[in-house]
A and B are shown apart, each in its own frame.
Chain A
């Protein structure tokens, strides 16, 4: 019998067929089974907040590649946090946000509210499955509860592979609804804070101070991302995110000092007031590069801007290298810088008309953050690993606007030095 096929070149088609045959289970983390990760995070700020956060995360990968993930987090927080008031050369006295009792800040020190003590528990679940060979769908629920705050959220995404699985397009959507119920109620916007009599302005009418029991906020997020395999050693990701939140954005525990327009000494303290909506956008770029010696470089940059005039840049670099066959080290550096929100102010000047919005929350101010540290990991076997991470996070702020009187003598931004420690253990069954 005379065959026709010996005249045809079939290597191209055969290679394509082989590609799809061998593509299955290409990634180690896609082998069916149970994956359990446990970790505990210790977070300590010098003279301020301490947090301990244990986590357990379990993932089941089914034979058909579907993935079910359940995660539980406990987060207990204690310590002090800046209340927004500026430093004075006199003793300052504040009532606690709950309305019960007060605290005194010595002259020349940053006013800190030391009442923070809260435990947050968060539970989330996510299910991901293949619709067909190129498309994956994912849906998740998240629930978080603490003493004065409840959040419930939903998210969903679709990922589609193109170009021989070298390009992945991701579309995501997330919705979150938050309720805050501060002890003592929601303060009146720009309402005067109750003060100890005898020092500074007099406390006015208690009934006018707080408006009601709770406030809500909803957050809607959209994400479009492209991941591209560049070559055998490199891949890149580019995301655009849009986030819109509506509702109560004010921090009920934060105040602003009203200072004398010449001396800069506090005359009154007002509850802060923020806009009722925020639209935030970001561009995120990330690359992973494996060097010829097997070391891995992880580099990312985020540019973020919003309609509160906040603009931030984040650069993050990690470099993983093996010390032995089992032991690896991953140093990490992160640099963050942000520009202040349009309504950020260290204090208000007496005699000036109240602005529409104002907050002295340092997190809305202008500052730089630097994180540096390392992770040390040990692969016990191909199924289990232990690791620890030690990092330092420092925030250094800029003075926004012109300091008044005594404010010139102090650093108005509450500089922050924090230590991050994490211990993890992962195992696959």
Chain B
């Protein structure tokens, strides 16, 4: 096992709250705690940071000794996974089925053909077609705890990890101290309850077109919010715009995805999945979200 991640953390007092800050999963992370004792706040902050770093490290695609590279380099051989990974694979499998293949943890291999760096070109149809046999979670054999991934295929938990870490962190903090808490990992948020019914948590939802400016202030008492964005990464070719949200069933960008979708749900994992599914529905994102009867904020 490689060294556990250690990065700086910061604890500041804002009004009646302690605010803990650190960085994890390439995002600024923040914990809001409604309590007085500084040492308890510090303990909660350390607990939150170590859980976020643990999830980041465990599911990193890059750490050679991690479970993800082990699966990706298994070359068609079965890999026996730990219980937590098994739960995540079960969940990924259910999301694949629920989204009829739109959400697919094996789709990351499309990065080999698609680059959205400045100056990158739109790939050839042949390059995409060559990758398609390596995409599709249904090609893998999953019999918990053994996963057999055909040679050449890859998985990653990038689409689940952050929201999962938010929910897990909140649950762990609440076990330690049953006080009003809000966990915010790069805009994916979950809270247990607010300090006072008169004073709900106020969360600003950013408009991607005016970064940094709150589009809307949302009052939340408990529950979670997660956002999926197509941001500015796209290629322009022959007057056509190719966004970075790729449809794993075609290998090509989803047509007319919203700029950003924020969904409210009971857990961050659920909210994140609904936002991601909506994004993958492209121009039908609103139709999909209306059908789900959830609260959402969508920017085109």
Query: Smallest CB-CB separation from A1: which chain B residue?
Result: B250
Q: How far is the CA of A381 from the CA of B46 in the complex (A)?
A: 12
Query: Smallest CB-CB separation from B84: which chain A residue?
Result: A24
A-B interface pairs (CB < 8 A), number: 97
Q: How far is the CA of A381 from the CA of B176 in the complex (A)?
A: 10
Q: Do B177 and A325 have beta carbons less than 8 Å apart? A: yes
Instruction: Chain B residues near A275: list those with CB within 8 A.
Output: none
Among B35, B82, B94, B287, which residue has its beta carbon within 8 angstroms of that of A13?
Answer: B94
> B81-124: which have CB < 8 Å to A?
82-84, 87-88, 90-91, 94-95, 98-100, 102
Is A3 on the interface with B (CB-CB < 8 A)? yes
Q: Do B43 and A11 have beta carbons less than 8 Å apart? A: no
Q: How far is the CA of A290 from the CA of B47 in the complex (A)?
A: 24
Known interface pairs A28-B175, A63-B82, A294-B178. Does A10 touch B292 (Cβ–Cβ under 8 Å)?
Answer: yes
Q: How large is the interface on A (under 10, 10 to 19, 20 to 34, 35 or more residues)?
A: 20 to 34
Is B294 on the interface with A (CB-CB < 8 A)? yes
Is A21 on the interface with B (CB-CB < 8 A)? yes
Q: How far is the CB of B49 from chain A (nearest CB, A)?
A: 14
Contact with B along A179-196 (1 / 0, CB 8 A): 000000000000000000
Instruction: Chain B residues near A381: list those with CB within 8 A.
Output: 43
Among A8, A11, A24, A64, which residue has its beta carbon within 8 angstroms of that of B274?
Answer: A11
Instruction: Chain A residues near B98: list those with CB within 8 A.
Output: 5, 10, 13-14, 17
Instruction: Chain B residues near A21: list those with CB within 8 A.
Output: 87-88, 90-91, 164, 269
Contact with B along A1-31 (1 / 0, CB 8 A): 1011111111101110110111011111000
Q: How far is the CA of A63 from the CA of B277 in the complex (A)?
A: 33
Instruction: Chain B residues near A324: list those with CB within 8 A.
Output: 37
Q: How far is the CA of A20 from the CA of B292 in the complex (A)?
A: 20
Q: How far is the CB of B247 from chain A (nearest CB, A)?
A: 7
Contact with B along A47-86 (1 / 0, CB 8 A): 0000000000000000111000000000000000000000
Q: How far is the CA of A343 from the CA of B172 in the complex (A)?
A: 56
Most A Cβ at <10 Å: residue of B35, B82, B84, B292? B292
Is A231 on the interface with B (CB-CB < 8 A)? no
Is A263 on the interface with B (CB-CB < 8 A)? no
Is B281 on the interface with A (CB-CB < 8 A)? yes
Q: Do B99 and A5 have beta carbons less than 8 Å apart? A: yes
Known interface pairs A3-B102, A21-B91. Does A15 touch B292 (Cβ–Cβ under 8 Å)?
Answer: no
Q: Do B83 and A5 have beta carbons less than 8 Å apart? A: no
Q: How large is the interface on B (under 10, 10 to 19, 20 to 34, 35 or more residues)?
A: 35 or more
Instruction: Chain A residues near B249: list those with CB within 8 A.
Output: 1
Known interface pairs A9-B292, A13-B98, A18-B270. Does A26 touch B171 (Cβ–Cβ under 8 Å)?
Answer: yes
Q: Do A325 and B94 have beta carbons less than 8 Å apart? A: no
Q: Do A18 and B83 have beta carbons less than 8 Å apart? A: no
Is B127 on the interface with A (CB-CB < 8 A)? no
Is A262 on the interface with B (CB-CB < 8 A)? no
Q: Do A6 and B281 have beta carbons less than 8 Å apart? A: yes
Q: How far is the CB of A78 from chain B (nearest CB, A)?
A: 43
Among A3, A14, A15, A65, which residue has its beta carbon within 8 angstroms of that of B100?
Answer: A3
Q: Do B35 and A325 have beta carbons less than 8 Å apart? A: yes
Q: How far is the CA of A27 from the CA of B174 in the complex (A)?
A: 11
Is B203 on the interface with A (CB-CB < 8 A)? no
Among A5, A15, A294, which residue has its beta carbon within 8 angstroms of that of B102?
Answer: A5
Is A382 on the interface with B (CB-CB < 8 A)? yes
Q: How far is the CA of A7 from the CA of B292 in the complex (A)?
A: 9
Known interface pairs A6-B287, A22-B171. Does A17 touch B95 (Cβ–Cβ under 8 Å)?
Answer: yes
Q: How far is the CB of A380 from chain B (nearest CB, A)?
A: 11
Among B99, B164, B176, B250, which residue has its beta carbon within 8 angstroms of that of A382?
Answer: B176
Query: Smallest CB-CB separation from B94: which chain A residue?
Result: A17
Is B162 on the interface with A (CB-CB < 8 A)? no
Q: How far is the CA of A28 from the CA of B178 in the complex (A)?
A: 13
Instruction: Chain A residues near B168: list those with CB within 8 A.
Output: 22
Q: Do A24 and B83 have beta carbons less than 8 Å apart? A: yes
Is B217 on the interface with A (CB-CB < 8 A)? no
Q: Do B291 and A14 have beta carbons less than 8 Å apart? A: no
Q: How far is the CB of B284 from chain A (nearest CB, A)?
A: 5
Q: How far is the CB of B242 from chain A (nearest CB, A)?
A: 16
Instruction: Chain B residues near A27: list those with CB within 8 A.
Output: 175
Known interface pairs A9-B292, A20-B90, A21-B91. Does A15 touch B43 (Cβ–Cβ under 8 Å)?
Answer: no
Q: Do B288 and A6 have beta carbons less than 8 Å apart? A: yes
Q: How far is the CB of A34 from chain B (nearest CB, A)?
A: 18
Q: How far is the CA of A6 from the CA of B293 in the complex (A)?
A: 12
Q: Do B100 and A4 have beta carbons less than 8 Å apart? A: yes
Contact with A along B35-69 (1 / 0, CB 8 A): 11100100100010000000000000000000000
Q: How far is the CA of A1 from the CA of B102 in the complex (A)?
A: 12
Q: Do A11 and B293 have beta carbons less than 8 Å apart? A: yes
Known interface pairs A11-B293, A14-B98. Does A22 touch B288 (Cβ–Cβ under 8 Å)?
Answer: no
Is B267 on the interface with A (CB-CB < 8 A)? yes
Q: How far is the CA of A64 from the CA of B43 in the complex (A)?
A: 26
Is B27 on the interface with A (CB-CB < 8 A)? no
For this complex, 12 residue pairs linking A to B, each with C-beta atoms less than 8 Å apart, are: A10-B99, A14-B95, A14-B98, A14-B274, A17-B90, A20-B87, A21-B90, A21-B91, A24-B84, A24-B87, A27-B175, A28-B175
Closest 5 CB pairs of A and B: A17-B94, A6-B288, A21-B91, A28-B175, A5-B100
